[in-house]
Amino acid sequence: MKLSVWTYEGPPHVGALRVATAMTGLHYVLHAPQGDTYADLLFTMIERRDHRPPVTYTTFQARDLGADTANLFRTACEAAYDRFQPQAMIVGASCTAELIQDDPGGMAETMGMPIPIIPLELPSYQRKENFGADETFFQLVRRLAAPMARTDTITANLIGPTALGFRHRDDIPEVTALLEGMGITVNVCAPYGASPADLTRLGAAHFNVLMYPETGEAACRWMERELGQPFTTTVPIGVGATRDFVAEVARITGLEARLDESRLRLPWYSASVDSTYLTGKRVFIFGDGTHVAAAARIARDEMGFEVVGLGCYNREMARKIRALGKEFGVDALISDDHLDVEAAIAEAAPELILGTQMERHTGKRLGIPCAVISAPMHVQDFPARYSPQMGLEGANVIFDTWVHPLVMGLEEHLLTMFREDFEFHDDAGPSHHGGAHVPRPAAAADPAAAEEGGPAPRPSAAPRDISGQKTDAGDVIWLSEAERELRKIPFFVRGKAKRNTEAFAHERGLGEISVDTLYEAKAHYAR
């Protein structure tokens, strides 16, 4: 047993639902108890889909347990077929039905349906959502795709985009445009938007574009083996990766590597002097393996940040992310416990977090700006506007998204210069973010008043830290002068300065921190 209050991934049948919902003409019959239908609202609310997911739940109840559940499954299958007339069905069990061992696959196969029935084995107590999506799509492809003559012109399949994917909707046209720029057309994009009939045409493409390894790799490997289709290994997120992707496609197809960069703005934006202040900004990156790997490269090579920590929650990508950590000189964090991630972020004291919905909240708790780069995400990350991550427009989107949460350059300098300023102080926060202006506490503006009345209360208390992590240097006492000096340091580096100074004092066995200690530590760490 493992205590969990939040999970990065749902159970594997949610992965299967993501595939079924992405497709048309496919129906999923899920042997599941009443209540498991909650998953519908992920699609109708978070992704704002205007149709119910194509799923029939058997919704068995306690009184059905025993022989009746098998019968319930059979009637649910028949009713779903009669009502929806799908081209194919997938059948499987949720975690509870896995325990009652009705064997949905076996039962469905004996029902003599006139359409392909694909049974799914999704081990709910070992695997998670991404595995569920990958495995479901693989089973569909294995059953429906077959070798066939290639198309006359060079075509590719787009593999991996699903429902509830992070920006999958907009990555598809972006990658389609990259291919079209080289004279390649898309044969089938799947599972997103494909029907079972489309899957039978997969073999006609000359190669596969593996857009998201998490949800399409098993199918791509199978197609490589059985259909002789090579697949791309570069995920085109970021300028460098997009260029590499184009080069890889050229290698596979023998076509000339062509990339129209006329609308690409990231390189100039990043080179312009306005961005100089971004240099060496400390960034922590967490999410699914694919997006983390892409983000790390962009952060270092295209934004000039310093990557101070990275990791992923999906064990399937652990090896790759560990290797990446080595390359960046940091220990990669492979964990699906958000408290571990929070502790690692607090430890690294970054100036920017790139992560998931959870890291956004962690950032809020720790007072560190954050941008979302990966699932899981909430409704605001299914935007109405066009906002891909892949390709050249994706790079433009990423530049804007990542820079936005940071304090702007001039503002940062002014905060350092006028850190005692009564209007323009760090408690006010970045000027372009929500929230009312917080006047500087009178106590801090007027040291004399501070002596009398004590410091004014902080505008709002941060939520209590539940990570259980305490700095071991916490027993060092800050002399009041030094504490005042510490508060003059801009808030976005103050945490780091505090931690460094405490560690410095701790190492030297100092019980107290004076202003001198503070500046000695600063000099020490500046090196």
List residues with catalytic annotation.
274
Q: Is 353 helix (H, G, I), strand (E, B) or coil?
A: strand
Q: Is 1 in the site for other proteins (CB under 8 A)?
A: yes
Taking the least distance from each CB to other proteins, the nearer of 99 and 442 is 99
> Smallest Cα–Cα separation from 14: which of 33, 45, 42, 48?
42
Q: Is 96 in the site for other proteins (CB under 8 A)?
A: yes
> Smallest Cα–Cα separation from 293: which of 174, 401, 212?
212
Q: Which of 20, 21, 31, 58 is in the footprint of other proteins by CB under 8 A?
A: 58
Looking at 55-63, 208-216, 256-264, 313-321, which segment touches other proteins (CB under 8 A)?
55-63
**What is the DSSP track for 135-202?**
HHHHHHHHHH----PPPSS-EEEEE---TT-TTHHHHHHHHHHHHHHTT-EEEEEESTT--HHHHTTG
Q: Which of 468, 474, 509, 511 is in the footprint of other proteins by CB under 8 A?
A: 468
Among positions 107-166, residues that touch other proteins (CB under 8 A) are 123-126, 128
Q: Is 44 in the site for other proteins (CB under 8 A)?
A: yes
Nearest distance in Å: CB 394, other proteins: 27
Q: Is 13 in the site for other proteins (CB under 8 A)?
A: yes
> Residues 236-275: x/- map of binding to other proteins (CB under 8 A)?
----------------------------------------
Nearest distance in Å: CB 461, other proteins: 13
| Helix residue spans in 254-376 (DSSP H) | 266-271, 289-297, 318-328, 338-348, 357-366
> Smallest Cα–Cα separation from 89: which of 33, 23, 163, 35?
23
Nearest distance in Å: CB 516, other proteins: 39
Q: Is 3 in the site for other proteins (CB under 8 A)?
A: yes
Q: Which of 65, 271, 323, 442 is in the footprint of other proteins by CB under 8 A?
A: 65
Q: Is 417 in the site for other proteins (CB under 8 A)?
A: no
Looking at 10-18, 19-27, 205-213, 454-462, which segment touches other proteins (CB under 8 A)?
10-18
Nearest distance in Å: CB 87, other proteins: 19
> Smallest Cα–Cα separation from 409: which of 439, 431, 438, 425?
431
What does the alpha-carbon distance between residue 160 and residue 175 come to, in Å, rounded to a whole number?
A: 12
Q: Maximum CA pair distance of the chain?
A: 88
Distances (CA, A) of 349 to 108, 209, 315, 435, 498: 54, 37, 25, 24, 10
Q: Is 341 in the site for other proteins (CB under 8 A)?
A: no
The residue type of 33 is P
Q: Which of 21, 23, 56, 341 is in the footprint of other proteins by CB under 8 A?
A: 56
Tell me the backbone φ, ψ of residue 94, rounded to 5 degrees.
-85, 180
Taking the least distance from each CB to other proteins, the nearer of 300 and 365 is 365
Q: Is 390 in the site for other proteins (CB under 8 A)?
A: no
What does the alpha-carbon distance between residue 71 and residue 105 come to, in Å, rounded to a whole number?
A: 13
Q: Is 346 in the site for other proteins (CB under 8 A)?
A: no
| Helix residue spans in 404-441 (DSSP H) | 409-417
Q: Is 314 in the site for other proteins (CB under 8 A)?
A: no
Q: For binding to other proteins (CB under 8 A), which residues are involved?
A: 1-7, 9-11, 13-14, 33-42, 44-45, 48-52, 56-62, 64-65, 76, 79, 83, 94-96, 99-100, 123-126, 128, 358, 361, 364-365, 378, 463-464, 466, 468
